[in-house]
Amino acid sequence: MVLDNTDAFTEAMAEDFGTRSKAASLFTEVVGIIPVIEHTRAHVAQWMRSTALMRAARLAGLRAEVQPTPVGVVGIIGPWNFPLNLVVLPAAAAFAAGNRVMIKMSEITGHTARLMSDLAPRYFDADELAVVTGGPEVAATFAALPFDHLFFTGSPSVGALVGGAAAANLVPVTLELGGKNPVVVAPDADLRRAAARIAAARMVNGGQVCVCPDYVLVPHDRIDTFVEVARETLRGMFPTIATNGDYCSSVNAANFDRVLGLIDDARSHGATVETVAPAGELLPDRRARKIAPTIVRDVDERMRIAEEEIFGPVLVVQGYTDLTAAIDYINARPAPLVAYWYGPDNEDFRGFIRRTRSGGVARNDFAAQMIPSAAPFGGVGRSGMGAYHGKAGFDAFSHYRTVVGSDCRSA
C-alpha cells in the first residue's frame, strides 16, 4: 500500500505541514520503514515456532512447549509528526504476530489521515484493518475500546490519559512517548564534528522528532566554539528560510505559538537567544509557520524551556564543569527516549551508559540506535513503556501460551 502510493502520501504530508519536502517525507516515512519490515518478513517464520521446555518437564513425564499466539485486536493511535511511519511499523508488527488492527490517525495531519482511510479498504479486508479518523473525542472513545493491546505514540501527558483509559478495560499498552533528549559532548570529543552533526540533527522535520537532541551539555571552555560551528552549519544548510522548500514548517499554529512561547519565556528570564537567518528575513513567519533556527544559552530552572520538550527548531546549549556534573543534571530529570554521547568509546562513555537511564543510547550520530532493524525501540519511565521493531514488536503483540501434555498413565 505504501510503496504503491508514495507520491500521494508525500503530497498529503506536504499539505498537512505546509512545507515539507518530498525527499524528507520519502526518507523518514517510506525508506526508513522498509528495512524493519523486511527484517520482520525474513524472521517471522522462526519467531512463530513453538519452543520446547526444558528436560525437567520431560523427566516428570510431561511434554511441554510455549506457543506464540496472537493477542487478538490491536489498537494503534498515531501521532502527527510522522503520520505514516509511526502507524505502519506497529501495524506491521501486529500483523506479523497474527492480529487484526484498528488505527486512529492524527486529526492534525488530516490529509494523510483521509488518504490512509481511503486506501486501506483497497488492500485489506475490513476485518483485517480498519482506519479511523476524527478529533480528540474520537480518540478518547477509541482509547476506551476493549482492545487486546493498545499502542500509542505521542506526548507523555496524552499517554497518561490513554494508559488510564486502557487500564479501565485491563488492556495492556505500549506507550511510545518523548522527553528532553540530552547530548553530552565529551571533553575529548571532536568538537567541530559534534557541533555540526548536532545542529543538523536538531533541524530534522523542523525539530519535530521525538528522538531529536533537545539540549546539549558542553564543557564550559568550549561553548563558544560549539556555538560558532553550529551557527556556521545552520547557515550553510538554510541560506534562506521563509520560502525554502527544504525547511519544514511547524505543523500547525498551536505548535508554532507554543515553540515561540518557550523562546520568549527563556528570553524574558535572561537567556541568551540567537536566531540564525542568513538572508535577513523577517522571522518568525506566521503565515508559513516558520521559526528560524534558534540557539539558546544561559538557561536556568526558571525557564519552561528547561523542563518542556521543545519539538521545534531550537537548540539549548549549556555548560558543564565535569562529566559527573553533566550526568547528575541528566539524572535529575525524567528518563529520556535517547541519550546522546559525542566522544570516544572509552571508559567515560561506558560510565555514561552505566550511570544514566534512557530508552536508548547513541554515540557520535543522530538516531543511530534506530538503524539496526532488529534493535528494539522504546522508552523507559516517562519516555515510554514497552518496545517494538524486530522481534520486540512481534513479542509485544503476542501471547506466549504454555501447552503441557502428560504421558502419565492411571494406575
pLDDT tens profile 177-226: 988 999 999 999 999 999 999 999 999 999 999 999 999 999 999 999 99
65 is catalytic: no
- pTM surpassing 0.75? yes
State the catalytic residue, choosing from 15, 38, 137, 210: 210
What is the identity of the amino acid at 315? L
**Where are the domains positioned within the chain?**
3-177+379-405, 182-370
Nearest to 359 by CA among 384, 340, 341: 384
Residue 68 has phi, psi (to 5 degrees) of: -75, 125
Residue 276 has phi, psi (to 5 degrees) of: -115, 100
- For 374-383, write each residue's pLDDT tens digit: 899 999 999 9
CB 124 within 8 A of CB 162: no
What is the identity of the amino acid at 258? R
Q: What's the CA gap between 289 and 226, in Å, rounded?
A: 28
Q: pLDDT tens digits for the chain (411 residues)?
A: 999 999 999 999 999 999 999 999 999 999 989 999 999 999 999 999 998 876 666 666 778 889 999 999 999 999 999 999 999 999 999 999 999 999 999 999 999 999 999 999 999 999 999 999 999 999 999 999 999 999 999 999 999 999 999 999 999 999 999 889 999 999 999 999 999 999 999 999 999 999 999 999 999 999 999 999 999 999 999 999 999 999 999 999 999 999 999 999 999 999 999 999 999 999 999 999 999 999 999 999 999 999 999 999 999 999 999 999 999 999 999 999 999 999 999 999 999 999 999 999 999 998 777 778 889 999 999 999 999 999 999 999 999 999 988 866 654
Q: Among all chains, which residue has been given the C-alpha cell 547528575?
A: 328
Strands 51-52 and 62-70: antiparallel
Q: How far is residue 32 CA from its own chain's centroid?
A: 13
- Please determine whether the domains at 3-177+379-405 and 182-370 fall in the same fold group of CATH: no
Query: Helices 156-168 and 136-143 sit at what angle, rounded to 10 degrees?
Result: 40
139 in helix, strand or coil?
helix
State the catalytic residue, choosing from 176, 212, 248, 309: 176
Q: What's the CA gap between 267 and 356, in Å, rounded?
A: 30
What secondary structure letter does DSSP report for 193? H
- 3.50.50.60, 3.40.640.10, 3.40.309.10, 1.10.260.40: CATH of 182-370: 3.40.309.10
CA dist list (Å): 232 to 29, 183, 199 = 29, 19, 10
Task: Convert 241-259 to b/e letters by CB count within 10 Å (16 or more is b).
Answer: bbebeebbbbbbeebbebb
Q: What's the CA gap between 146 and 155, in Å, rounded?
A: 22
CB 156 within 8 A of CB 177: yes
Q: What's the CA gap between 331 and 309, in Å, rounded?
A: 16
What is the identity of the amino acid at 294? T
Q: Among all chains, which residue has been given the C-alpha cell 523577517?
A: 282
Q: What does the chain come to in residues?
A: 411
135 burial level (CB within 10 Å; 0-12, 13-18, 19+): exposed
- For 269-327, write each residue's pLDDT tens digit: 999 999 999 999 999 999 999 999 999 999 999 999 999 999 999 999 999 999 999 99
DSSP H or E run through 319: strand 314-320
First vs last C-alpha separation in the chain: 60
What secondary structure letter does DSSP report for 31? I
Strands 73-77 and 149-153: parallel
Cis before 83 (ω within 30): no
Q: What's the CA gap between 193 and 358, in Å, rounded?
A: 24
Q: Among all chains, which residue has been given the C-alpha cell 525501540?
A: 377
Q: What's the CA gap between 285 and 241, in Å, rounded?
A: 9
Q: What's the CA gap between 78 and 154, in Å, rounded?
A: 7
**Grid coordinates in use for 280?**
535577513
**Grid coordinates in use for 122?**
483497497
Give residues with Cβ within 8 angstroms of 239, minimum separation 6.
278, 279
404 in helix, strand or coil?
strand
210 is catalytic: yes
Q: What's the CA gap between 123 and 176, in Å, rounded?
A: 27
Give residues with Cβ within 8 angstroms of 169, minimum separation 6.
144, 145, 146, 147
The C-alpha angle with vertex 359 and arms to 16 and 9, in degrees rounded to 5, equals 20
- Name the CATH superfamily for 3-177+379-405: Aldehyde Dehydrogenase; Chain A, domain 1 (3.40.605.10)
CB 248 within 8 A of CB 24: yes
